[in-house]
Amino acid sequence: MKLLVTGGTGFIGSPLCRALARQGHELTVLTRASRSSADPRIRYLAWADPGWPQAIRGIEGAINLAGEPIAAKRWSPAQKTVIRDSRVGTTRRLVDALAALPQKPSVLVSASAVGYYGDRGDEVLDETNAPGRGFLAETCQAWEAQAQRAEPLGVRVVRLRIGVVLAPGGGALAKMAPPFRGFLGGPLGSGRQWLSWIHREDVIGLIAWSLSQPALSGAVNATAPEPATMRAFCRELGRALRRPAWAPVPAPVLRVLLGEMADMLLTGQRVLPAVARRLGYVFRYPDLPRALAASLPRSCPESDLR
């Protein structure tokens, strides 16, 4: 397929593009700045280039992963605007460009997040549950609403609600592992909040699978089948690193250090991938110990989407 990708140079997007190119797809990647590509199947276009909407003519599918990293900076009012606009505004701009194409792509796989569900305690959640409240939940709702604007164009839209992504070299573990290695690791807050995680290989797999499933549309939870409480997650992380998980970080300390962002860490969602399981997606890393073993020092190879 000829595919358009936004967010194609990030933690998920970079290995995704390489994997899709190995499968023979031709990729056009929208980036903040133009760059050269060593792979003839991947070309880069800059968002700032006024000609990019015309340059994407002929695409057969689109993958939208653009968005400012949630934990990049403290959530000042200005940073919250950046987080929202980098998702909602970028998706609006993308769908506007798709609407102007003489031939529309058949599918749009657009990222969202499990933050859509808000703080739900121990409630078991699947794609049928209503959205929650709060900054992240409301941002995800607006984000998804922009993607859904492509549906009246005849585009099949898959809204991928992604959990906490585990993989070598970045993501959540880049921030969580160092304290454990220094014998200072432990659960955040009460430790009872749920953490819906997924290995990056399965995010890549779910995106590729979504492209190939013509009957699939709507919300799809991109989470592993076995969410864990924060306490259980930290216990497994300690085991994987051969370190104790004995130093919990109290909620008041997190709130002083992180401000409003602490709510993201102190609350959680117990999310299950009901749609993916029902339609036959097979997870490469369905359980936490194997996912962590593949994400820490002895890393797994990039997905080849076999």
The predicted model gives 138-151 an average pLDDT of 98
Give residue 78's pLDDT.
Answer: 95
More confident residue, 184 or 271: 271
217-240: pLDDT as tens digits: 999 999 999 999 999 999 999 999
pLDDT at residue 293 above 50? yes
C-alpha angle 141-5-172 in degrees, rounded to nearest 5: 60
24-45: pLDDT as tens digits: 999 999 998 878 888 899 999 9
Give residue 12's pLDDT.
Answer: 96
All structural domains of the chain with their residue ranges: 2-295
Give residue 303's pLDDT.
Answer: 43
pLDDT band (50, 70, 90) for residue 297: low
pLDDT at residue 199 above 90? yes
The domain made up of 2-295 has a fold known as: Rossmann fold (3.40.50)
The predicted model gives 244-268 an average pLDDT of 85
Residues whose CB falls within 8 Å of the CB of residue 26, separated by 6 or more in sequence, listed in order: 1, 2, 3, 41
Q: How deeply is 271 buried, as exposed, middle or buried, from its count of CB atoms within 10 A (0-12, 13-18, 19+)? A: buried
- The region of weakest confidence among 107-116, 135-144, 248-257 is 248-257
Residues whose CB falls within 8 Å of the CB of residue 281, separated by 6 or more in sequence, listed in order: 205, 206, 209, 273
Measured torsion, CA atoms of residues 191, 195, 198, 199, in degrees rounded to the nearest 10? -20
| pTM for this prediction | 0.93
Mean pLDDT over the full length of the chain: 93
Residues whose CB falls within 8 Å of the CB of residue 306, separated by 6 or more in sequence, listed in order: none
Give residue 250's pLDDT.
Answer: 86
